[in-house]
Amino acid sequence: MNPLFALDDAQCLALAETHGTPCFTYSAAVAAEQFKALRTALPSRVRLAYAVKANPHPSLLRRFAGLGASFDCASIGELARVEALGLPPGRTFFAGPGKREAELAKALAMGVRVQAEGWEDLARLDALATGEVAVNLRVHPAFDLDEGNRIIGGTGPSAFGVDEEDVAALLARASALRHVRIRGLHVFAASNQRDAAKLLAIHGAVLDLAQRLHGAHGLPLEQIDLGGGLGIPYAPEEAPLDLARFGQGLSDLLAAHPWFVGELILEPGRFLAGPCGVYLARVVRIKESRGVRFAILEGGINHLIRPLLTDQAFPVKAVGKGGSDVAYTLAGPLCTSLDRLGDVHLPELAPGDLLAFGSTGAYGFSEGMTHFLSHPVPPEVWVD
Ligand SMILES: Cc1ncc(COP(=O)(O)O)c(C=O)c1O
């Protein structure tokens, strides 16, 4: 089985027949395997908190919860989805640069660990709380080891967290709070990173930063949250993340920081949810225009906006057809020239042919603009 496509051609054809197209399909087995493979590779002192934003489908959340996952939420809607799982306290986190009071109140009521992104989160929580509340402080570091990554945004100005150079002043101010206690750090400094050495270098730098803050301010750290950012392949030539090396590297980092006796948190979204998804759409028409051959599909950036945002195409295949000798620009049905899913080589296509886009389980449906142009919302189908 091609690891970029969680479902084979026969499954894709059958799903397209049964549920119609365009549609998002997912392999529950692949999602579970992905979770188990990462969990097995990690030291026991690493908590795995699935980033719900990647794919908040209740079936996926239930499956991950059953495998022992914790959850990283970033809105009141995500908190509600996780609340429905009925988890014990301690398994849910709440991040986000613009948390409203109602969201903080919900997080408090659920016993969720808040990643405070600045003074306002701390002060609002303090005003809402009636007893002691432990939070993590999100820090925007002065280092950037995932250079040029637009999602992380470099060392420049950021809407996320407290700038590293402002942490001392914030800790001093926070010491006067009645209920809120900073008991952890959160730093998210990588995105779609498949190189274990790079990820470990970033995480090592975060632990060094934590050690400096711990040393300088006597900050008792129960948790250090390393964020998400574990990468997956989107093309055959891209190697997957070496999980054994990554897990061993985290063990080594823990051993190198004996002062830290708490828990590391990882919040992968893409890594856990991406590989299980296959988006199915048929060709509506083929058009030649001034030397370019367009395959115009039933769905485009209304369903898969990622290629537009990141210039990174999803892998695609023509279901039931071999070969890759014709160059196509894949366009969607929207009335904008931005509606492109990639320049690809595929076999000769005809209207009605079924295309499958692999690794679309994360930041696919959840990130799409399904209401734009009022096309019907595509179904999401889980294969057990
Ligand atoms: C706070 C936080 N944690 C985790 C993630 C998940 O990142 P990824 O899907 O790259 O693992 C994100 C993504 O934006 C995030 O903002």
Q: Please state, in angstroms and as integers, the Cα–Cα distance from residue 122 to each residue in 16, 101, 183, 265, following that order.
A: 49, 11, 12, 21
Q: Could you give the CA distance from residue 365 to residue 120 in angstroms, rounded to a whole number?
A: 32
The pLDDT of residue 273 is: 98
Q: Could you give the CA distance from residue 226 to residue 69 in angstroms, rounded to a whole number?
A: 16
- 149: how many CB neighbours lie within 10 A of its CB? 17
Do 305 and 249 belong together in one domain? Answer: no
pLDDT category, 221, cuts 50, 70, 90? Answer: very high
* pLDDT tens-place string over residues 273-316: 999 999 999 999 999 999 999 999 999 999 999 999 998 999 99
Do 258 and 281 belong together in one domain? Answer: no
* Short-list 309, 241, 224, CA closest to 275: 241
Residue 330, H or E segment: strand 326-331
Identify whether 55 is part of a domain. no
Domain boundary residue among 266, 295, 323?
266
Whole-number Å distance, alpha carbon 51 to ligand 1 midpoint, is 6
Identify whether 352 is part of a domain. yes
Q: What is the percent of the chain with per-residue pLDDT over 90, rounded to a whole number?
A: 92
Whole-number Å distance, alpha carbon 47 to ligand 1 midpoint, is 15
Do 104 and 208 belong together in one domain? Answer: yes
The backbone torsions φ and ψ at residue 158, rounded to the nearest 5 degrees and listed phi first, read: -145, 145
Q: Residue of the nearest CA to atom 7 in ligand 1?
A: 228
Q: Could you give the CA distance from residue 84 to residue 225 in angstroms, rounded to a whole number?
A: 24
List the beta bridge partners of residue 184: 136, 223
Domain boundary residue among 266, 293, 325?
266
Q: Where residue 165 sits, what CATH number does that domain have?
A: 3.20.20.10
Do 239 and 182 belong together in one domain? Answer: yes
Domains in the chain: how many in total? 2
Domain boundary residue among 237, 266, 295?
266
Q: Which atom of ligand 1 is nearest to the CA of 274?
A: 9
Query: Chain centroid to CA 300: how far?
Result: 21
The pLDDT of residue 340 is: 97
pLDDT category, 150, cuts 50, 70, 90? Answer: low
The pLDDT of residue 143 is: 77
Query: How many Cα atoms sit within 13 Å of 83 on the Cβ side?
Result: 15
Q: Where residue 351 sits, what CATH number does that domain have?
A: 2.40.37.10
Do 292 and 252 belong together in one domain? Answer: no
Q: Which tokens is 75 given?
A: 């809105």
Whole-number Å distance, alpha carbon 93 to ligand 1 midpoint, is 12
Q: Residue of the nearest CA to atom 4 in ligand 1?
A: 228
Q: Please state, in angstroms and as integers, the Cα–Cα distance from residue 46 to each residue in 40, 51, 76, 98, following that order.
A: 11, 15, 26, 27
Catalytic sites, residue numbers: 335
Identify whether 261 is part of a domain. yes
Q: Which atom of ligand 1 is nearest to the CA of 192?
A: 10
Coil, helix or strand at residue 167: helix
Mutate to test the pocket of ligand 1, among 34, 52, 53, 149 (most ligand atoms within 8 A of CB): 53
State the alpha helices, DSSP H only, in the chain.
Answer: 9-19, 28-41, 58-66, 76-83, 101-110, 119-128, 167-174, 196-217, 243-256, 270-273, 306-310
Which amino acid, one-letter code, is at 33?
Answer: E
Query: Can you say whether the dihedral through the CA atoms of 178, 49, 310, 163 is positive or negative?
Result: positive
- Asked if pLDDT for residue 264 goes beyond 70, the answer is yes
- 225: how many CB neighbours lie within 10 A of its CB? 26
Whole-number Å distance, alpha carbon 53 to ligand 1 midpoint, is 8
**Region 254-277 average pLDDT:** 98
Identify whether 83 is part of a domain. no
Q: Please state, in angstroms and as integers, the Cα–Cα distance from residue 222 to each residue in 181, 260, 383, following that order.
A: 11, 8, 39
Q: Could you give the CA distance from residue 152 to residue 310 in angstroms, rounded to a whole number?
A: 12
Identify whether 123 is part of a domain. yes
- Asked if pLDDT for residue 109 goes beyond 70, the answer is yes
Contacts of 115 (CB under 8 A, 6+ apart): 93, 94, 95, 96, 135, 136, 137, 138, 186, 225
Do 108 and 142 belong together in one domain? Answer: yes
Q: Could you give the CA distance from residue 368 to residue 339 in angstroms, rounded to a whole number?
A: 12
Q: Which tokens is 317 given?
A: 């295949």
* Short-list 128, 1, 283, 44, CA closest to 10: 1
Q: Residue of the nearest CA to atom 12 in ligand 1?
A: 228
Do 290 and 259 belong together in one domain? Answer: no
The pLDDT of residue 156 is: 82
Q: Which atom of ligand 1 is nearest to the CA of 229?
A: 10
The pLDDT of residue 147 is: 63
**Region 120-136 average pLDDT:** 98
Do 125 and 245 belong together in one domain? Answer: yes
Query: Chain centroid to CA 262: how far?
Result: 24
Do 292 and 245 belong together in one domain? Answer: no
* pLDDT tens-place string over residues 171-220: 999 999 999 999 999 999 899 999 999 999 999 999 999 999 999 999 99
Whole-number Å distance, alpha carbon 268 to ligand 1 midpoint, is 6
Pocket (CB within 6 angstroms of ligand 1): 51, 53-54, 72, 95, 188, 191-192, 227-230, 267-271
Do 197 and 123 belong together in one domain? Answer: yes
Identify whether 19 is part of a domain. no
Structural domain containing residue 303: 275-383
Q: Could you give the CA distance from residue 75 to residue 69 in angstroms, rounded to a whole number?
A: 18
**Region 227-250 average pLDDT:** 97
Do 325 and 201 belong together in one domain? Answer: no
Tell the residue number behind the tokens 């290629």, with chain if given: 307
Query: Chain centroid to CA 38: how far?
Result: 15
Do 258 and 299 belong together in one domain? Answer: no
Mutate to test the pocket of ligand 1, among 188, 195, 199, 232 (most ligand atoms within 8 A of CB): 188
- 29: how many CB neighbours lie within 10 A of its CB? 13
Average pLDDT in the chain: 95
Identify whether 377 is part of a domain. yes
Identify whether 36 is part of a domain. no
